[in-house]
Structure 1
């Protein structure tokens, strides 16, 4: 077994729960999230890329999660099918008490589920994965402006859904602190 296989083993052993959590933010379905992680791992380690460090492999897999998620949406039209399923539910169906959110993570997951897939992908890539607007646009095959719009709309919707309140005094003073390089002149 080579170092490449060791990296895969270590990645799955140590980082699988984190990868699964990221996939679940995108898919909103635990089974689909597992499938997405599996697809991303296979795509990453079956390709030509060779990794000698788990951190590099994990970054690659995390980006593959987003790419595979968006590609899946395009191929199967999941957004349309999801809307049709929700529309078919009777309005008076009570939620199962076992599914009632009990933690902030559950509330966030439910709020993410209320976003469109494009909004969800943009906000996860921008604010969870910490990608730039340009990197997100390139990954999702969107314009920079579309990423900004989807992200802005998603953040606003999440604020409403999660009951976030704007600060009482939006005029917070900002004090610039010179960097060590600027102090040296």
Structure 2
């Protein structure tokens, strides 16, 4: 009984906070693309990993506090968790592109299917992430980090190492394409 009450409470909070823009149009867009009932984090991870959304005409952009999905004039806005920041990182060796808000359907990095050792340490020296990740079909690795921190991101692969200061505040990019491996 308690889990049912929690589920209903969570659903009410999502609707009240503007999930899917609170519109029938947004709900229909999510349903059409098989995203109905998915959390914002699940939507971001699903769309960032493949090119399926591109072929289906779905576009998505990640900002500090929401993911905005569009398709043929329809729009759905999903709030991101208050405490988590999505940073899409595309390490590169020869070619990159400029980016600020990560496009789940438009950004394409150079190194697809590559393994990277990824380490994020905050300014206090705490390790926030230390894992081996494989880049998606779009050449990016997706990192869920705490909001409003500053720290150091280090990425290492067979192609080399890149280190860069990162921040996760409202004024910071959700797309990082400046880490050249050398």
Give the TM-score normalised by structure 2.
0.31
Structure 1 or 2, whichever has the larger Rg, is: 1
Give the strand-richer structure, 1 or 2: 2
Structure with higher RCO (Cα < 8 A, 6+ apart): 2
